[in-house]
């Protein structure tokens, strides 16, 4: 089955599943109440502290029930959540956001992620357990607002914490609605209010106040490098998700038809706003023409006219050499219209052959424009890919049948996510194995975060027993 057909089948099944669940009853907040939403940061944090003091006494089974309640109650809301997010932010598309939110609900690990370690010997036993921090201060982005809130709430509550969210002002309405929804679900599941809180008016100032609040010991920042740096200056423990500029290497041994389909799928998904999405392609010369042809067969528009390329550059990149925020997460058709370029079909992706120094290759555009850089061989491809990734150590993909090359690229690039012979989103568990995450903490080293990253690792030593070897 072709990749595009498989994608359409997956989407059809998910939409049918959602339709079946339309009549599932969902518990709602008391009419008129704003569950978990406060006027000031201090009020919200203090309420969360009190809530977490009660929550930490709950059993692991009760935490499992909380996670289960979140999953079950949000299923009927997925389509609404996706529609609201697109309407407010103007980024991405509803169909792909349905898939992303489904992924967050289904594949975010819960309490099962809090594994226990033990060491025994002549001097007894040492136990390593994971326990909560308390109230986590979390920043959520506008690019993936709902997915991040769902994913992090499941992981943070599974680890026994409460969470104060500082959502992006550009996704304020959907974020406040979802935070209130999450807090209500949790309260009705375990009887504790204000485990998920925020303020009525999210702002940069509110985020700064949260970062400096003495009752917030851990900061989890899913945003740009500026807010991550600011959090790291707080002197607190920080889990920070930074920028990425993921390249995709294609060598002459690759299955070119599949590589082209995978790259178009990954780079066009939700109009390329995922930080893990393919942002450039570095292809060995002998297969580049065929790769471009196959990408066109999978719905990409290959722009070759130099004047059209200039038009695209003018609208996609500002005079200051940064991405044009007005076009972030917009469709290929909208970008072409803005550039004054006509197209007789609806393209999924725009591809342009460039050199490695072109702004399309060096700037993280977060829009469905992908440069293809032609190189003579694999060694040069890896060198260029490392250069384009810019030492961010975020994500990279590669298409090859040469195991030695795949291993060398993975080792040399040292990215948090490295996808071999698949679309970038396989690194999030979609059409790939493993759990999902929407906070990829590259700057602070945690990588793909899950519940165990939101817990302290503690050591308990018993010196005179429980070694029976």
Q: Look at residue 149 in the predicted model and tell me its pLDDT.
A: 98
Pick from 34-48, 217-231, 276-290, 297-311: least confident: 217-231
Confidence of residue 28 (pLDDT cuts 50, 70, 90): very low
Give the pLDDT confidence score for residue 386 in this predicted structure.
Answer: 98
pLDDT band at 226 (very low <50, low <70, confident <90, very high): confident
Give the DSSP H/E element, type plus range, for residue 324.
Answer: none
Does position 8 have pLDDT exceeding 60, yes or no?
A: no
Question: Cα–Cα distance between 81 and 101 in angstroms, integer?
Answer: 8
Q: For residue 467, what are the CA distances in angstroms to 115, 125, 377, 460? A: 20, 6, 56, 15
With beta carbons less than 8 A apart as the criterion, state whether 273 and 143 touch. Answer: yes
Q: Model's pTM, two decimal places?
A: 0.90
Mean pLDDT of 195-202: 97
For the stretch 371-389, what's the b/e string if a residue is b when 16 or more beta carbons lie within 10 angstroms of its beta carbon?
A: bbbbbeebebbbebbbbbb
**Region(s) of the chain under CATH 3.40.309.10:** 247-431
Query: 362-376 pLDDT, tens per residue?
Result: 999 999 999 999 999
Residue written as tokens 């065929």?
A: 290
**pLDDT level of residue 19 (50, 70, 90 thresholds):** very low
Question: Cα–Cα distance between 165 and 106 in angstroms, integer?
Answer: 22
CATH class of 247-431: alpha beta
Tally Cβ neighbours within 10 Å of residue 33.
12
Segment holding 399, helix H or strand E: strand 395-399
Check pLDDT > 90 for residue 13.
no
CA pair distance 466, 469, nearest whole angstrom: 9
Percent of the chain beyond pLDDT 90?
89
Rounded Cα–Cα distance for residues 444 and 423 (Å): 25
Q: Determine the pLDDT at residue 31.
A: 33
Does the pLDDT at position 137 exceed 80? Answer: yes
Per-residue pLDDT reduced to its tens digit, 118-134: 999 999 999 999 999 99
Given a cut of 60, whether residue 22 has pLDDT beyond it is: no
What pLDDT does 97 receive?
Answer: 98
Q: What are phi and psi of 437, to 5 degrees?
A: -155, 150
* pLDDT tens-place string over residues 395-429: 999 999 999 999 999 999 999 999 999 999 999 99
Residues of the chain within CATH 3.40.605.10 domain(s) are 37-242+450-459
Is there a contact between 108 and 436 (Cβ–Cβ < 8 Å)? yes
CB atoms within 10 A of CB 402: 15
- From start to end of 229-341, where are the E strands? 237-241, 247-250, 280-284, 300-302
pLDDT in tens, 154-186: 999 999 999 999 999 999 999 999 999 999 999
CA distance 352 to 67: 44
For 37-242+450-459, which CATH class? alpha beta
Say if residue 11's pLDDT is above 70: no
Nearest 5°: the CA angle 387, 391, 397 is 70
At 304-354, the pLDDT tens digits run: 999 999 999 999 999 999 999 999 999 999 999 999 999 999 999 999 999
pLDDT digits (tens, 9 = 90+) for 227-272: 998 999 999 999 999 889 999 999 999 999 999 999 999 999 999 9
């Amino acid at each position: 089955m072709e990749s595009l057909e498989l994608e359409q089948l997956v989407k059809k099944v998910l939409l049918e599943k959602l339709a079946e669940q339309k009549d599932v009853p969902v518990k709602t907040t008391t009419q008129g109440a704003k569950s978990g939403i406060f006027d000031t940061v201090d009020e919200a944090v203090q309420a969360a502290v009190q809530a977490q003091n009660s929550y930490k006494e709950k059993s692991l089974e009760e935490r499992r029930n909380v996670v289960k309640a979140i999953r079950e109650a949000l299923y009927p809301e997925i389509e609404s959540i996706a529609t609201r997010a697109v309407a407010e932010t103007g980024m991405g598309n509803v169909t792909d956001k349905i898939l992303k939110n489904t992924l967050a609900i289904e594949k975010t690990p819960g309490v099962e992620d809090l594994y226990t370690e033990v060491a025994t010997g002549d001097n007894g036993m040492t136990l390593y357990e994971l326990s909560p921090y308390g109230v986590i201060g979390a920043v959520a982005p506008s690019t993936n607002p709902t997915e991040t809130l769902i994913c992090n709430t499941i992981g943070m509550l599974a680890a026994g914490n409460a969470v104060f969210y500082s959502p992006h002002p550009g996704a304020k309405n959907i974020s406040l609605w979802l935070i209130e929804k999450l807090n209500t679900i949790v309260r009705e599941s375990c009887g504790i209010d204000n485990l998920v809180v925020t303020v009525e008016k999210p702002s940069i100032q509110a985020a700064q106040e949260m970062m400096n609040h003495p009752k917030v010991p851990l900061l989890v920042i899913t945003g740009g490098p500026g807010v991550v740096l600011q959090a790291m200056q707080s002197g607190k423990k920080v889990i920070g998700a930074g920028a990425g500029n993921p390249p995709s290497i294609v060598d002459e041994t690759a299955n070119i038809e599949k590589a082209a389909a995978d790259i178009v799928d990954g780079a066009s998904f939700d109009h390329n706003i995922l930080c893990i999405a393919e942002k450039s392609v570095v292809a060995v010369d002998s297969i580049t023409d065929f790769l471009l042809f196959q990408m066109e067969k999978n719905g990409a528009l290959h722009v070759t006219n130099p004047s059209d390329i200039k038009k695209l550059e003018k609208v996609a990149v500002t005079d200051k050499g940064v991405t044009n925020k007005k076009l972030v997460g917009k469709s290929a058709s909208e970008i072409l219209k803005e550039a004054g370029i006509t197209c007789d079909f609806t393209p999924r992706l725009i591809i342009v052959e460039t050199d490695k120094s072109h702004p399309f290759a060096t700037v993280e555009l977060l829009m469905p424009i992908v440069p293809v850089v032609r190189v003579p061989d694999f060694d040069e491809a890896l060198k260029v890919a490392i250069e384009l990734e810019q030492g961010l150590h975020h994500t990279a993909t590669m298409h090859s049948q040469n195991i030695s090359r795949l291993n060398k690229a993975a080792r040399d690039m040292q990215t948090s996510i490295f996808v071999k012979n698949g679309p970038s989103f396989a690194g999030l568990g979609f059409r790939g194995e493993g759990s999902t995450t929407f906070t990829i903490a590259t700057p602070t080293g945690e990588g793909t975060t899950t519940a165990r990253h939101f817990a302290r690792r503690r050591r308990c030593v018993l010196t005179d027993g429980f070694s029976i070897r």
